[in-house]
Amino acid sequence: MTTGPLDRETFIAKLREIGGRAYHDKHPFHVAMNEGRLSPGALRGWVANRFYYQSNIPIKDAAILSNCPLREVRRVWIHRIVDHDGSSENEGGIEAWLRLGEACGLSRNELLENRHLLPGVRFAVDAYVNFARVQPWPVAIASSLTELFAPDLMATRLAGFEKFYTWIDSSGLDYFRRRVTQARCDSDEALAITLERCNRRELQDAAIRALEFKCDILWSMLDAIHHAYAGANR
């Protein structure tokens, strides 16, 4: 017997439950960062490796667009590429992250050339981009719903950086300041598309698995970074 689709409230509750138990804000490395327990060397390692993820976000979103036949969805989603790559009017998230790196003592070339990129982080990020390429576009969009949990994370992270890591120039934290509000808008947008387009039970189940997969990606990145830098004292 075929199981019918979940009602809207139950579907949303199942998506939010994933963040409650699996989002990477609970990872020991993230907890240590927010509590001010990271050394400058460990913090630089995180910034350098997270840059690979940041620089691949527009590639991931381009993959979603390439699979989506609906113009009305593409017109909504395409701004994410510009948000990260930037334009003549907006420097974009990648540039803001480069400035964060500079504020931490990393050169632009160190980030752009991935000199500190860990194999585990590369593997996780590449797996996420590949997921967006091969999955049905509504499922790939659902994987972006980690943004549901990002505003609170960004606010906590910003407060932690301003309190504990005063050696970082405050102007380098602009990326976090923007994402507090931008992530909320992006998550509302992705959730609306997911609720509309994942309207059969098999698609809803796939969307739930996609969000779990994305949480695993973020957690795996931190596993690699924690292993490499937890004892850093430079």
pLDDT digits (tens, 9 = 90+) for 44-84: 999 999 999 999 999 999 999 999 999 999 999 999 999 99
In angstroms, the Cα distances linking 48 to 42, 60, 66, 83, 198 are 10, 19, 29, 20, 35
Length of the chain: 234
CB-neighbour burial class of residue 204 (10 A; exposed 0-12, middle 13-18, buried 19+): buried
Is there a domain that residue 205 lies in? yes
**Confidence grade of residue 234 (pLDDT, cut at 50, 70, 90):** very low
Is there a domain that residue 234 lies in? no
Residue 1, pLDDT score: 47
Phi, psi of 230 (to 5 degrees): -55, -35
| Overall domain count for the chain | 1
Is there a domain that residue 94 lies in? yes
Single pTM value for the model: 0.94
CATH number for position 220: 1.20.910.10
Is there a domain that residue 25 lies in? yes
Is there a domain that residue 31 lies in? yes
Is there a domain that residue 3 lies in? no
